Amino acid sequence: MSSWGKNNDYQTPKNYWSVQEAKEKIQNFCAYQERCAWDVRRKLFEKGIPEKDIEDLLDFLNQEGYLDEERFARSFARGKFRLKKWGKNRIQQELRMRKISQASIRAGLEEIDPEEYYDTLLTQTEKKWESTLEKDLYKKRFKVIQYLMSRGFEQDLVQEAVGSLQ
């Protein structure tokens, strides 16, 4: 057997960036879509940039307007709700994980229209109810509730939405 499968000697080395290269590439990274400091810090760390240089680059990006925590939170909340059909709890949890301030998280959640939110919850409830192949209504109800809560919808709204089906 050849040594290709067993040995890591033949793998290409990680593609590290110089600090100047990082400055250019990270500007494009931020210009492409909204990013938060956590995303940028992770990307720079993966590319072998030292911690002090990461902080300098983050300061530069903030000064130049590439990073804006509240703008990121608003964009993130809108996108995850509209495209992935996430509930507010899930969005909030993901933003917290990215070290976004509570004030910015609140601003992000304000982007979600309450009526659109409830309509989406009802649509998701109906879809899940139809696709759940469970004869026992109690178990079916439990599965649908679990699913919706795992998507980040609030328990009281989920109970109300499931109740509206029956």
Q: What is the pTM of this model?
A: 0.85
Tens digit of pLDDT for each residue in 15-67?
Answer: 788 889 999 999 999 999 999 999 999 999 999 999 999 999 999 999 999 99
Alpha carbons 72 and 67: distance in angstroms, whole number? 8
Tens-digit pLDDT profile for residues 90-109: 999 999 999 999 999 999 99
Q: What is the CA radius of gyration of the chain?
A: 22
Query: Could you state, in order of their start, the residue ranges of all structural domains in the chain?
Result: 9-63, 69-109, 114-165
Yes or no: say if 70 and 87 are a contact pair by the CB < 8 Å rule.
no
Q: What is the mean pLDDT of residues 6-12?
A: 48
CA 24, CA 48: separation in Å to the nearest integer? Answer: 15
